[in-house]
Chain A
Amino acid sequence: MTTNATLELASVTKRYGDTVAVDAINQRINAGSYCCLLGPSGCGKSSTLRMIAGHETVSIGDIILGGTNITDLPPARRGTAMMFQNYALFPHLSVIDNVAFSLKMRGIGMAERLGAAGDLLDLVHMTAYADRYPNQLSGGQQQRVALARALITKPSILLLDEPLSALDPFLRLRMRLELKKLQRELGISFIHVTHSQDEALALADLILVMNEGRIEQDGSPHDIFNAPKTEFVARFIGGHNVVDQDGGRVAIRADRIAVAKRGDGGSTLEASVRDVEFLGTTVNLALEAAAGDITVSLPDGDFFDDPIEIGDTVFLSWNAADAHQLAA
C-alpha cells in the first residue's frame, strides 16, 4: 500500500467526438480522504472516475497518484481498484473465488490466495457465504463481496461507482455507515460517485460538485452546504433558496429564514403561504413571493407555538451573514 497516495488531476479532459464530457479538471485529493463526486447524471462524474480507474482513456491531461503519473497505466497497475455499479461479480465463480480472482490472475497459489480472500471476507463479514454463488446473495451481500474483491489488491484508492444506488433505502443507510467505517479503518482514499446529496454530505470529507464536465465547487460537506458558491450548487445540494437581491443572487438556507406574521417595516420580504408540509422535526412552508418561490423550514416547536395557515401572508427576514453571494 502506498503511504503517500495523494491523487492529483491535472487538466484532465475527456472528449467523445465533439462532446466534452470532462472539461479540464484540476483537483487534488489527499491520501486517506473520503471524496464524493456529486452531480446530476451526465455531469462527467462517472467519466472522471473511470479515467482514474483506467477504464477510460484520458483525452488530455495527467492523473498522478502518489507522485507517479498513472495516466496511461493499465487498471491493475495504478494502485486503484474499482467497485462497479452493479458489482460485476463473476456469476460462474463462488464468493471466495470472486474475491481471490485478482490473486489468481497474478499466479498466486491456491492456498495463499484463498487465505487472503478469507481474510477479506472476514473484514466484510461474509465468511459464512464463501461457497455461495453471486445469484444466491442479496444486493447488500453482493456489495460486500464486490468490496472485498476490490480491496484484495490492496489499492491506495478505492473507486466506487454509485455503490448504493442498487440497494433499497433501508439497506442504503446501513451500507453507507459501513462504507465510512471501512474507509476509516483501512485509511485509504475512497472516491465515491453519487447523485445523492444526502449520501455525499453524510460520507465525504471532500465533496466535488460537478456540472457539465466541470467542478462547480469543492470543499468539506459543511462548506458546500453552508456556503454554496454557485446557483447550481445551491439548487443541487438542496435546502437552499436562491433569491435575487440588489447586489445579485444570494443563497439562503431554508432553516435560516425567520418568519413573522407582521412586517416590522425593515428589510423584509412579503410572501403568501401556498403549502404547509409537516416532516416530523421540521415543518416546511412553501411560499410565493414577488422574487419567486421560497421554501422555509421551521422547527416543529416554533411552528406549532404559532401555526401558520395556507393563504396567510408572512414576512421573511434573515441575517446578512446567512445570505451567500452566488457567482454570476
Chain B
Amino acid sequence: MPRTDGVGAWLQITPLMTVLTLFLVVPIVTIAVVSFWGYNEWSFFPDFTLENYEYHLTAKVTWQTYLTTVKYVALTWIFTVVIGFTVAYFLAFHVRSLTWQIALFLVCTIPFWTSNIIRMISWIPFLGREGLANNALIAVGAIDKPLEFLLFSDFAVILAFVHLYALFMVVPIFNTMMRIDKSLIEAARDAGASSFQTLTNVIIPLSKPGIMIGSIFVVTLVMGDFITVRFMSGSQSASVGRLIQNEISLLQYPAAAASAVVLLITVLLMIGIMMRFVNIRKEL
C-alpha cells in the first residue's frame, strides 16, 4: 500500500462524520444558540440573553417537574433492574440450550413489533375505570368499586415506563451474563459458595457493566420522555419533557431550547456519575 498522509483515513471516517455532524452536532449547536435568543408573544429573534436560563432555573415549577421526573426515573430504574436482571439471569443460567435461549430472547422482543404509542395506549382499556382489570377484580369479588389509581396516575406512568423499557435492561445484562465463564460458577461452588453467595459475589459484580448500560438507556429515555407521561397520567403529571413540549406549543422556542440544554446537561451529568461506578468500556 502506498504511503498516505492520513488522507485515506480521513476519507474512511467522512461518512460517519458527515452523518454525526448533520444530525447530531448541528441540531445541538442550533438549540444551544437559540437558547440565548430573546422572544416575545409573537416572535423570537437573535440576541444574547441569559433570561431564558434565569427564568427556567428560578421557576418553582421547573424544580417540581425535575423532582417528579427524577422520581419516575428512580422508580422505573428499580423495577427495570429487578425485572431485567431476573429475566437475563433466567435466560443465561437456567435455560441450558442455546436454541432455547435464542428463542426465548426473541419472544422478549415481540412487543417491539408494535410502536411505543400503541403499546402504551393499549393499557388504557385494560386499566380504565370500566377496564378489564377493574371488571375482573369486581367479578371475582376482590373489590367492591373500581380502583381509581390504576389509570391516569403515577402508577400508570411507572407501569408503562417499566413495560416499555424493561427490555433495554434485559438485553445488555443478558449480553454480559452470556460472557461469564461458566467455570467461574463451578469454581465458586467448589469454594463452598451457596447459590445466593454465587449470585452476590460472582454474578452481580460481573454483570455490572450490563446493568450500567441498561441503566443509561432507561435513565436517558425516562428523563426525556413526554408522551408516556402525558398519556398515562391523563395530562395530570408533568415531566421535564412535557415542560419543553408546552413551551414549543406556545412557540417559545428560545425558552424550550434553554430547558432542553439544561435537561441535556442534567442527563450527561447523571451518566457521568454512573460511569464513575462501573467501567463499561470493555463491554463496547
A binding-site residues for B, Cβ under 8 Å: 53-55, 74-77, 81-82, 84-86, 88-92, 101-102, 104-106, 149-150, 153
Note all chain A residues with C-beta closer than 8 A to B184: 88, 90-91
Note all chain B residues with C-beta closer than 8 A to A92: 205-206
Note all chain A residues with C-beta closer than 8 A to B205: 92
Interface residues of B in 253-270 (CB under 8 A from A): none
Contact with A along B186-206 (1 / 0, CB 8 A): 111111111001000110011
Judged by a CB distance under 8 angstroms, whether B144 is at the interface is: no
> In the bound complex, how far is the Cα of B184 from the Cα of A53, in angstroms?
15
Q: Is the CB of B197 within 8 A of A55?
A: no
> In the bound complex, how far is the Cα of B254 from the Cα of A194, in angstroms?
73
Note all chain A residues with C-beta closer than 8 A to B191: 76, 101-102, 105, 149, 153
**Contact for B190 among A82, A85, A89, A91, CB less than 8 A:** A82
B279 to chain A, nearest CB (A): 11
4 further A-B pairs in the complex, CB-CB below 8 A; given A76-B192, A149-B187: A82-B186, A89-B187, A105-B197, A105-B201
Note all chain B residues with C-beta closer than 8 A to A74: 189, 192
Given contacts A55-B186, A84-B187, contact A90 B192 (CB under 8 A): no
10 A–B pairs (Cβ distance < 8 Å), ordered by A? A53-B190, A75-B192, A82-B187, A86-B183, A90-B184, A101-B191, A101-B201, A105-B193, A153-B191, A153-B192
Given contacts A86-B181, A88-B184, contact A81 B190 (CB under 8 A): yes
A179 to chain B, nearest CB (A): 18
> In the bound complex, how far is the Cα of B201 from the Cα of A92, in angstroms?
10
B206 to chain A, nearest CB (A): 6
**Contact for A76 among B189, B201, B202, B206, CB less than 8 A:** B189
Q: Which residue of B lies closest to A50 (CB)?
A: B186
Q: Is the CB of B190 within 8 A of A76?
A: yes
The 4 closest A-B pairs by CB, nearest first: A76-B192, A102-B191, A88-B187, A88-B183
User: How many of chain B's residues have a CB under 8 angstroms from any CB in A?
Assistant: 17
**Contact for B206 among A77, A85, A88, A91, CB less than 8 A:** A91
Give the residue among B181, B186, B187, B194 with the most A Cβ atoms within 10 A: B187
Interface residues of B in 157-212 (CB under 8 A from A): 181, 183-184, 186-194, 197, 201-202, 205-206
> In the bound complex, how far is the Cα of B180 from the Cα of A91, in angstroms?
10
Q: Is the CB of A84 within 8 A of B189?
A: no
Give the residue among A89, A101, A149 with the most B Cβ atoms within 10 A: A101
| A/B pair count, beta carbons within 8 Å | 63
Q: Which residue of A lies closest to B180 (CB)?
A: A91
Given contacts A88-B181, A92-B205, contact A106 B187 (CB under 8 A): no
Give the residue among A85, A90, A106, A153 with the most B Cβ atoms within 10 A: A90
B59 to chain A, nearest CB (A): 45
Q: Which residue of A lies closest to B181 (CB)?
A: A88
Q: Is the CB of A55 within 8 A of B189?
A: yes
Q: Is the CB of A88 within 8 A of B186?
A: yes
Q: Which residue of B lies closest to A80 (CB)?
A: B190
Q: Is the CB of A84 within 8 A of B201?
A: no
Note all chain B residues with C-beta closer than 8 A to A55: 186, 189-190
> In the bound complex, how far is the Cα of B21 from the Cα of A77, in angstroms?
62
Given contacts A91-B206, A92-B206, contact A106 B183 (CB under 8 A): no
Q: Is the CB of B192 within 8 A of A106?
A: yes
A215 to chain B, nearest CB (A): 25
> In the bound complex, how far is the Cα of B188 from the Cα of A90, in angstroms?
9
A84 to chain B, nearest CB (A): 5
Q: Which residue of A lies closest to B184 (CB)?
A: A88
Note all chain B residues with C-beta closer than 8 A to A89: 187
> In the bound complex, how far is the Cα of B205 from the Cα of A150, in angstroms?
21
**Contact for B187 among A77, A90, A104, CB less than 8 A:** A90
> In the bound complex, how far is the Cα of B190 from the Cα of A74, in angstroms?
8
Give the residue among B183, B192, B202, B206 with the most A Cβ atoms within 10 A: B192
> In the bound complex, how far is the Cα of B206 from the Cα of A106, in angstroms?
21
Q: Is the CB of B186 within 8 A of A105?
A: no
Note all chain B residues with C-beta closer than 8 A to A150: 190
Note all chain B residues with C-beta closer than 8 A to A149: 187, 191
> In the bound complex, how far is the Cα of B201 from the Cα of A81, in angstroms?
19
Given contacts A86-B181, A88-B181, A90-B184, contact A75 B201 (CB under 8 A): no
Interface residues of B in 119-173 (CB under 8 A from A): none
Q: Is the CB of A105 within 8 A of B181?
A: no
Q: Is the CB of B192 within 8 A of A102?
A: yes
> In the bound complex, how far is the Cα of B191 from the Cα of A154, in angstroms?
11
A82 to chain B, nearest CB (A): 5
Q: Which residue of A lies closest to B193 (CB)?
A: A105
Note all chain A residues with C-beta closer than 8 A to B192: 74-77, 102, 105-106, 153
> In the bound complex, how far is the Cα of B38 from the Cα of A8, in angstroms?
88
> In the bound complex, how far is the Cα of B190 from the Cα of A101, in angstroms?
10
> In the bound complex, how far is the Cα of B206 from the Cα of A89, in angstroms?
12
Q: Is the CB of B181 within 8 A of A75?
A: no
Q: Which residue of A lies closest to B189 (CB)?
A: A75
B232 to chain A, nearest CB (A): 39
> In the bound complex, how far is the Cα of B190 from the Cα of A150, in angstroms?
9
Q: Is the CB of A84 within 8 A of B193?
A: no
> In the bound complex, how far is the Cα of B194 from the Cα of A77, in angstroms?
12
B198 to chain A, nearest CB (A): 9
Note all chain B residues with C-beta closer than 8 A to A101: 188, 191, 193, 201
